[in-house]
A and B are shown apart, each in its own frame.
Chain A
Amino acid sequence: MALQSLDIKARSATTTPSPSVRETLKVAKLIDISTCIGCKACQVACMEWNDVRDKIGTNVGVYDNPPDLTEDSWTVMRFSEVEVQAGKLEWLIRKDGCMHCAEPGCLKACPSPGAIVQYSNGIVDFHEEHCIGCGYCITGCPFNIPRISKKDGKAYKCSLCSDRVAVGLEPACVKTCPTGAIVFGSKDDMIRHADLRIIDLKQRGYSNAGLYDPPGVGGTHVMYVLQHADMPEIYHGLPKNPTINPMVSLWKGIAKPLMSWGLGLVALAGFFHYVTVGPNEVKEEEET
């Protein structure tokens, strides 16, 4: 839920500049998968702060609970049991949720002016009051994050606690994390913090440890430290090189302007054909 703001970098379905006199520091949340213990305190903090409660579900045989993101669960711990090397099982736990892309596919796809905004601090926020429930954000998202509520037909996702961040607080999940696996600060600071973690992991034998800040979407404002940064897919299908899908680019980048201009041209062509050639009237005089 977006607040009125003076630091809007981009606004869905809007071509003129949005209020942007205020420049804010670029922020990021860093999730260190190697220190996450899967306690789900972040899930609880998220639902408490945002005051949303998911339905009590059923056990589906894995630790993921709820089994997927929903309109009420904006973050879900994804548990993957992976044999990275033969005989060496690793339990990889990834906190899933909106990545807050610098180039958000949801915002690009959204047809409703102002339903999705991106602040200059990097947070991508849904303004549900303007949401029309078309689901185009789902189509546009490279990470499969937004969910449409069955109750009100609006799309919901992690807001990176934009309301807390706006008043200088860290997101609720960060505040609650008992191991310090989730940290929050300026994006530059978070990259430096990640560098130290990666050095530590490499010393411990994780030679492919690295930062997940995918350039295909312009970088993200939620980043991961991965023990196996060469294989992000093993973390419950985290995409290796996420981009706005070519279909979405074709649809919103090429087809949209071309077709709208095309229809305008067809209308003009018709009008000027009439003006220049004139109507096609029956030539033959009616005889009796």
Chain B
Amino acid sequence: MMRTDSALIQRYTCSDRVNHWVVAITFILAALSGLALFDPIFFWLTNLFGGGPWTRIVHPYIGLLMFILFIGMALRFWSSNHLTAADRQWMKQWRDVIGKHEENLPQVGKYNAGQKYVFWILVITLPLLLLTGLIMWQPWFAPYFSIGLLRLATVVHALAAFCVIALIMVHIYAAIWVKGSVRAMTRGTVTAAWAKQHHAAWHNEISKGAK
């Protein structure tokens, strides 16, 4: 039997999707409440959380919850995110990536190099945010640490948060930009044409398996 290009391919299971979206929701809440406390130009965001004190109170709990939920996602997607030589080539040709010249790029497996970097940067920064966040956490843990460590933790927390927020903005944009991607994470499926164009190696692998 011929597989048709209009056929839908399963990309994420139901539990993959739920895991992704609970992390996404907690991430957005953590980012908004964190930005509110980071720069006064964002202080108005505290209104979303019931004022300054509430923002300060809930932010660490949201962050902790996000981290716990992210562990599931990290384990789930770990094995699909090993970086390869083809990925390095893909990154080198970033002009072709943003210029929509996918035909010039090496064949992409389940994830392209950009997606893999999103994964690994999260794997590095989220534990860093958790660790520094615990050190800063008033009133529970901060009093047990020296002021020197508190200052270092605050700077590292801000830097890591900046990296991860910028990263997720790129991640969200990429999902909007590459049409047909959002449905992968909302409905679980992509079209075969989408898979062929953006993740040809993955498409081949799946087609082989299906035959």
Q: Contacts A247-B152, A267-B169 given; indicate if A287 touches B4 (C-beta within 8 A).
A: yes
B169 pairs with A283, CB closer than 8 A: no
> A257 to B51, alpha carbons, bound, how many Å?
23
**Chain B 163-189 residues near chain A, CB threshold 8 A:** 165-166, 169-170, 173, 176-180
| Cβ contacts under 8 Å, B55 to chain A | 132
- Chain B, 1-30, CB within 8 A of any chain A CB: 4-6
| A280 x B169 contact (CB < 8 A) | no
Q: Are A280 and B100 in contact (CB under 8 A)?
A: yes
- Taken residue by residue from 136 to 149, chain A's Cβ proximity to chain B (1 for < 8 Å, 0 otherwise) reads as 10110100100010
How many B residues, CB 8 Å from partner?
52
Q: Mark out the residues of chain B between 45 and 84 whose CB falls within 8 Å of any chain A CB in the assembled complex.
A: 46, 51-53, 55-57
Q: How many of A's residues come within 8 Å of B, CB to CB?
A: 47
Residues of A within 8 A of B178 (CB): 279-280
Q: Give A253-288 interface residues, CB cut-off 8 Å to B.
A: 255-257, 259-260, 262-263, 266-267, 270, 273-274, 277-284, 286-288
Which of these, B138, B169, B194, contacts A270 with CB under 8 Å? B169
> In this assembly, does B94 line the interface, its C-beta being within 8 Å of a C-beta of chain A?
no
Q: Within the assembled complex, what's the spacing in Å between the Cα atoms of A255 and B157?
A: 11
Across-interface contacts of B138 in A (CB, < 8 A):
133-135, 148, 153
Given that A132-B53, A138-B147, A284-B193 are known contacts, is A251 also in contact with B142, CB under 8 Å in the complex?
A: no
Please name the residue on chain A nearest to B168 by beta carbon.
Answer: A266
Q: Distance in Å from the Cβ of A19 to the closest Cβ of chain B? A: 18
The residues of A that contact B196 with a CB separation of less than 8 Å are 284
A185-213 interface with B by 8 A CB criterion: none
Contacts of A284 in B (CB 8 A): 5, 193, 196-197
In-complex Cβ contact of A259 among B36, B56, B147, B158 (8 A): B158
List the interface of chain B (C-beta within 8 A of A): 4-6, 36-43, 46, 51-53, 55-57, 98-100, 102, 136, 138-139, 142-143, 147, 150-152, 154-155, 158-159, 162, 165-166, 169-170, 173, 176-180, 191, 193-194, 196-198
Q: Besides A270-B170, A280-B179, 20 other CB < 8 A contacts?
A: A15-B40, A132-B53, A133-B139, A134-B56, A150-B139, A153-B53, A248-B151, A255-B159, A257-B39, A259-B38, A259-B159, A260-B41, A266-B169, A266-B170, A270-B177, A279-B178, A280-B100, A286-B5, A286-B193, A287-B4
Which 3 pairs between the two chains have the least Cβ-Cβ distance? A132-B52, A13-B40, A247-B151
